[in-house]
Structure 1
Amino acid sequence: MAPLRRLLLCLCLPLLLPPPAAPAPAPGPRIDWVACRSLSRELSRLVATLKEPHRVLEETQLSEEDPKNWPPRIRCSDACDPSTLDTNNTRCLQRILQGLQHYRDLLGSDIFTARRLPRLEATLDQLLGLVQQEHGRPPRHSLAPSETWTHPLLQRLALQRLQSFAAIMSRVFTHSASTR
């Protein structure tokens, strides 16, 4: 009888003991949210203050028909909404990093050879540096050379899209900075 009692105790004892403590959650990205908020606001301000060198393009709305060629955008599926950001911001930060790298590559491409924007590039580099600390550097993409006559049009399109991206990104960083 004693072996049976011992066996029952061994089987039931785990049920009587409190469950083991859950492992500590892995630390999330150590992003300097306040610095990212500040830099994203500066980026938005810089893009908004750029003057169009070709006046005729100021009233032009450009769009691409092929969605495969669209630059990275922050979408609903990227989990950048406030409730998700508070619990898991990894996917959102990866999308932001992808977009920042894309626009940095664009500013360094032949499209902007004749119109360098050093302050914009420097701000993008600083923001990239902050976000890359935890997520590493995404692969750089070489952009195919474009025809010189298209550069003003492509610059306009790139800067319009960067302005939209920066506005949404700034909202993400503003929310995250205020909750930390």
Structure 2
Amino acid sequence: MAPLRRLRLCLLLAALLPLPAAPAPAPTALPLRPDWAACRILSRELSRLLATVKEPHSALEGMQLLEEDPQNWPPRILCSDACDPLTLETNHTRCLHRIRQALQHYRDLLGSEIFRDQPQPQLESTMEQLLRHVQEGHGRPSRHPPVRTDLWAQPLQRHLALKRLRSFAAVMGRVFNHSAR
């Protein structure tokens, strides 16, 4: 009888114990590092496409615009963004955050009214692909509403936006070129 009593006691205890929790689904792992090689290829493609964009007004090609308020400048890679080769080896988060900010800004500019007369679908597409590679998290980043501009100022703003984007693309290309090694 003792074995039967033990069996009943074990069954009773098993019935009183809570059921084990279902195993938690594995968190969707975000890539710790972006695909550096793909970023390098896309940043080179972006630079190549930028080199093919021609100014519709030849007078703007050699024009230098002076800007007095650096607070209104678009996001750009600064020394404090830790995009140097040594820091990128250990922590690339800050650098990628800055690159993502700038790509979003320029993508929004390319879709704005200042490029209505001269749309750049290939540039936008390449920037979207590049953004997908440097995303933190899921989904598409929100677009910021474009700034309304006067019709006469649009060629100047387009010229300035392309000039800044070319400069940014050159620095970004160096970051991805180093990291893809």
* TM-score normalized by the length of structure 1: 0.80
Q: Which moved more, 1:144-153 or 1:129-138?
A: 129-138
2:35 is matched with 32
Count of aligned positions:
153
C-alpha distance in 1, partners of 2:179/2:127?
19
What residue identity is the alignment partner of 1:118? P
What residue identity is the alignment partner of 1:90? T
Percent identical pairs in the alignment equals: 65
* TM-score normalized by the length of structure 2: 0.79
Shift in Å, 1:139: 4.8
**Rg (Cα) greater in structure:** 2
Map 1:1-180; keep pairs closer than 5 Å. 29-134=32-137, 138-178=141-181
User: Unpaired segments of 5 or more residues in structure 1?
Assistant: 1-25
Residues 134, 87 of structure 1: CA spacing in aligned structure 2 closer, same or farther, 3 A cutoff?
Answer: farther
C-alpha distance in 2, partners of 1:50/1:159?
9
SS in 2 for 1:38: helix
C-alpha distance in 1, partners of 2:166/2:141?
21
C-alpha distance in 1, partners of 2:77/2:138?
17
Contact 2:30 2:137 in 1 (8 A): no
Shift in Å, 1:144: 2.1
1:16 is matched with none
Contact 1:112 1:155 in 2 (8 A): yes
Residues 136, 98 of structure 1: CA spacing in aligned structure 2 closer, same or farther, 3 A cutoff?
Answer: farther
Q: Deviations over 1:129-176 (max 9, x none)?
A: 111155875553222210011111000000000000000001000111
C-alpha distance in 2, partners of 1:89/1:61?
33
Moved over 4 A (4+): 133-139
Q: Which moved more, 1:131-140 or 1:93-102?
A: 131-140
User: Unpaired segments of 5 or more residues in structure 2?
Assistant: 1-28
Residues 69, 136 of structure 1: CA spacing in aligned structure 2 closer, same or farther, 3 A cutoff?
Answer: farther
Q: Deviations over 1:66-101 (max 9, x none)?
A: 111100010000000000000000000000000000
